[in-house]
Structure formats: C-alpha cells, structure tokens
A = this chain, B = another copy of it.
C-alpha cells in the first residue's frame, strides 16, 4: 500500500539555536520512500544524519536568532510490512540474541524495567508463548491505563504510568517496553505516521523482538497496525523525539497527516483470526 504522509511544524527561535528533527519516514526493506520533500521557510541548509544504528533519519539545522521557522515534510511511502506467522514468533533465548539487540534489554530513561521485575513476572510471567505474553501486556495496558491527553508530561515514565494509570501513546509505549524488558524480551520505541489515527498526530507504539524479528505492538489500539509509516525506533522517547531543540525555541503549530494513496486498506489489529505479527524492518 502507498501512503501520503506529511507534517508541518512552526517554531519561533529567539536566540541562535540548533534544531534536530526526526520526522522523515525511515528507509527499510519493508518501507520504500517513493517521493519526498522537505521545505524550510526561510531557507536553511539542512544536513541529513543517519542515527547510530540506522534507526532514524535526523535532519539538523542551525537557525538564526529571531526566526519564525516553518518546516514542511511530505512523502509518498510504499509500506510493505512483513506478516510473520505467530508460530514463528518465539522468544529468542538470551544466549542467541544478536549483540545489537542486547541493548534493548537494558532499562532506559522512561522504561525502568529494573523496577518492574516482580510486577511483570506476576502478571505475565506464566503466559506462553512469547507472542501471547506481549499481547497480554498490551491488553493489560489497554484495559487499565486511561488514554487522557494532558495527563502526563515529558518527564513521565513507565514507572509512573504503571501506577497512575493515565497517559498518551508515548506513555503506553513506554510501559509496554518496560514490561517486555522486565521479562527479558527485547523491546524498543517506535514512532511514526499512522493512518486512521484520530485526531491525526505523530504516533508512538513499540516493537518487541520475537522469532528474530522486530514485531510491532500498540497498547493504545487507536489505529490499525498495518497503517503505520515508521519514522524511527530507539530505546525510548529520549532517542526518538520528533524534534530536539538546543536553544530558546517555541513550537507553535504541529500538523500531521497520513492518507492512503493507493491500494486497498484492510485494517489489522491482532486477534485470534489474524495469526500474524507485523514487522516494519
């Protein structure tokens, strides 16, 4: 399927500052960028950086003082996610995990898995196989955490959400990741454009490493799993923020859009009748 995605952001930059944006659709075997444009008004030379493990395409600008900046990104993306039989999505023994996956077992800023061992084990430890275990985690989050705009802030972490039980997509993702890691399942943050998400916005969910694949899960259940266009993955939102602002910035407008450009869309949510996991890598 092909999707038109776009985002437009406006900033006011008081003093000279550096802006690092993370709004480009990622290039992966499962995701092809057919067309793409980035407009910056006023014009600033930008530099595209491929982040450490190829998990995000950053764009970096040095912006002058007293600048009202508009950034418009548009892309036509061919989304060819993989469908993998659930039976194949087994837990990979620690002793067989690839080195670059091991890091996603460690606790991170917003996913303090080291404080959630007992909780995770008690709730989900006995559920097998691993795919069902991760599904049970997303179901528990969905049923227990209230999706409530404005209930959390940029410091809110999984350790808060597991008790306070309210948050937005970012918080749902952090909690899913933390619980997976607490159970020795590698997990990481996923940001992207999302078809049929209402209201339209950037979306966040997570990937768990099962059967040697990074399988996408979304505890918010707000949008179909097969309508995602991946922007980035990372340990948590600290790695995959939409924008990192170094200086005195004000963000005034964010508009995000994702539309079907071609193909037929049959929404996918994991359930008994759909025996696959989806991967965007």
Residues of A within 8 A of B (CB): 18, 20, 47, 49-53, 58, 60-62, 93-95, 99-100, 102-103, 105-109, 112, 114-116, 118-119, 122, 144, 146, 154-155, 159, 162-166, 184, 235, 238-239, 244, 246
Flag if B162 contacts A163 (CB, 8 Å). Answer: yes
A164 to B163, CA, bound (A): 11
A107-B109, A122-B165, A159-B163 known; A99 vs B58 contact (CB < 8 Å): yes
A116-B163, A165-B122 known; A99 vs B246 contact (CB < 8 Å): no
Contacts of A102 in B (CB 8 A): 20, 49, 51-52, 58
Distance to closest chain B CB from A97 (angstroms)? 9
Q: How many copies of the shown chain assemble into the complex? A: 4
Contacts of A244 in B (CB 8 A): 105
Flag if B164 contacts A52 (CB, 8 Å). Answer: no
Given contacts A52-B53, A119-B165, 10 further A-B contacts (CB under 8 A): A18-B93, A52-B52, A52-B99, A58-B102, A62-B95, A106-B109, A106-B239, A114-B155, A115-B163, A115-B164
Distance to closest chain B CB from A212 (angstroms)? 16
Contacts of A144 in B (CB 8 A): 122
Residue of B nearest to A53 (CB): B52
Flag if B49 contacts A99 (CB, 8 Å). Answer: yes
Contacts of A107 in B (CB 8 A): 109, 238
Contacts of A112 in B (CB 8 A): 109, 155
A155 to B108, CA, bound (A): 12
A47 to B146, CA, bound (A): 36
Flag if A99 contacts B53 (CB, 8 Å). Answer: no
Residue of B nearest to A93 (CB): B18
Contacts of A50 in B (CB 8 A): 99
Distance to closest chain B CB from A235 (angstroms)? 8
Distance to closest chain B CB from A186 (angstroms)? 12
A112 to B157, CA, bound (A): 11
Flag if B246 contacts A184 (CB, 8 Å). Answer: yes
Distance to closest chain B CB from A169 (angstroms)? 18
A102 to B112, CA, bound (A): 22
A112 to B238, CA, bound (A): 10
Flag if B118 contacts A164 (CB, 8 Å). Answer: yes
User: Which residue of B106, B118, B162 contacts A146 across the interface (Cβ within 8 Å)?
Assistant: B118
Residue picked from A20, A163, A244, A246, most chain B C-beta under 10 Å: A163
- 27 A/B residue pairs, CB under 8 Å, sorted by A: A18-B93, A18-B94, A47-B95, A49-B102, A50-B99, A51-B103, A52-B52, A52-B99, A52-B103, A60-B94, A61-B95, A62-B95, A106-B239, A108-B235, A109-B109, A109-B112, A109-B114, A114-B155, A114-B238, A115-B155, A115-B164, A116-B163, A119-B163, A119-B165, A122-B165, A159-B163, A184-B246
